[in-house]
């Protein structure tokens, strides 16, 4: 058998040198986003490798379907990427979600908040996001023109977050094994209502259980320096 070797190698494929990728997204009438697209094999394999561990059932009784778990995993990936220090700036700022809400509305948990490039959101959603975010106080005049803008301030200082990681080691909800980098710091008494940013008023929770606290009939309190979750109407055990 005669084998001829081409020292220059095979002709490069255009789809390897310049992979074809598309991503289309749009706002839906209910405020959600729809999207479609395609990515190359290599990038798809990386995406599958990221989604797989994040989409694992949280417990043996996890009620979510596989597509729902994968959708939650995709949202987790976006949130992790948004917190990366390596993302490029746009207009001199790192990528962020800008929410505008009057302080009194934030305190009263009533009304709505304005979200950048989207429809207004319920104030309780804004309160959840504000638990662990960067806040900037802006004073507006009667005609809505900013009169003064304060310095942005991270709600949870790095030292407090490190202490939370040592105590909670990840999501504090029983049976959840989400790691610290996948968790938000939740104020038991919201800082807008005077709740202190200290260990006795904070706990780490993943995005799923953070939503559960804010948007379902669950409460949480710190008992003997540890978080205790209780369905509304039941006394802590």
pLDDT bucket at 165, cuts 50 / 70 / 90: very high
Name the DSSP letter for residue 109.
T
pLDDT grade for 195, boundaries at 50, 70 and 90: very high
Cα dist. 70→9, 23, 75 in Å? Answer: 40, 18, 9
Contacts of 87 (CB under 8 A, 6+ apart): 81, 94, 95
Helix (H) or strand (E) holding 212: helix 207-215
The Cα-based distances of 9 to 4, 13, 16, 55, 147 in angstroms read 11, 12, 14, 40, 66
What is the per-residue DSSP string for 35-73? EEEE--HHHHHHHHHHHHHHTS-SSTT----HHHHHHHH
pLDDT beyond 60 at 28: yes
| Neighbour tally for 161: CB within 10 Å | 17
* Residues counted in the chain: 237
Within 10 Å of residue 15's Cβ, how many Cβ atoms? Answer: 10
Q: 136-150, 160-174, 215-229: which range is least confident on average?
A: 136-150
| Band (237; pLDDT cuts 50, 70, 90) | very low
> 30-39 long-range contacts, Cβ below 8 Å, gap at least 24?
31/118, 31/119, 31/121
Mean pLDDT in the chain?
A: 82
The stretch 114-123 carries a mean pLDDT of 79
Q: Kindly indicate the confidence band of residue 234, based on its pLDDT and cuts at 50, 70 and 90.
A: very low
Q: Is the pLDDT of residue 203 over 90?
A: yes
pLDDT of residue 169: 93
End-to-end CA distance of the chain: 79
What confidence category does residue 151 fall into, taking pLDDT thresholds of 50, 70 and 90?
confident
The upper half-sphere exposure of residue 193, i.e. CA atoms within 13 Å in the direction of its Cβ, equals: 13
Give the mean model confidence (pLDDT) for residues 18-22: 87
pLDDT in tens, 43-72: 899 999 999 998 988 778 888 999 999 999
How large is the average pLDDT for residues 183-199?
91
Q: Which two tokens stand for residue 114?
A: 């304005």
Could you tell me the sign of the dihedral formed by the alpha carbons of 27, 217, 165, 50, in that order?
Answer: negative
pLDDT at 235: 42
The yes-or-no verdict on residue 15 having pLDDT over 80 is no
């Amino acid at each position: 058998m005669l084998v001829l070797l081409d020292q220059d190698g095979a002709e490069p494929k255009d789809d390897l040198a310049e992979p074809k990728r598309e991503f289309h997204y749009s706002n839906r009438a209910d405020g959600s986003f729809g999207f479609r697209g395609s990515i190359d094999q290599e990038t798809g394999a990386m995406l599958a490798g990221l989604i797989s561990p994040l989409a694992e059932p949280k417990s043996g009784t996890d009620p979510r379907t596989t597509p729902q778990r994968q959708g939650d995993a995709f949202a987790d990936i976006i949130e992790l990427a948004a917190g990366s220090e390596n993302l490029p700036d746009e207009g001199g700022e790192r990528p962020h979600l800008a929410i505008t809400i009057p302080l009194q509305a934030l305190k009263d948990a009533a009304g709505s908040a304005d979200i950048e490039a989207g429809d207004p959101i319920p104030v309780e959603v804004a309160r959840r996001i504000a638990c662990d975010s960067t806040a900037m106080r802006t004073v507006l005049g009667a005609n809505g023109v900013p009169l003064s803008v304060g310095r942005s301030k991270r709600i949870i200082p790095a030292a407090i977050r490190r202490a939370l990681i040592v105590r909670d080691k990840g999501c504090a909800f029983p049976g959840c094994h989400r790691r610290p980098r996948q968790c938000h710091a939740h104020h038991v008494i919201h800082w807008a209502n005077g709740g202190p940013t200290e260990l006795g008023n904070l706990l780490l929770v993943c995005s799923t259980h953070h939503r559960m606290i804010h948007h379902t009939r669950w409460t949480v309190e710190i008992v003997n320096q540890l978080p205790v979750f209780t369905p509304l109407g039941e006394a802590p055990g």
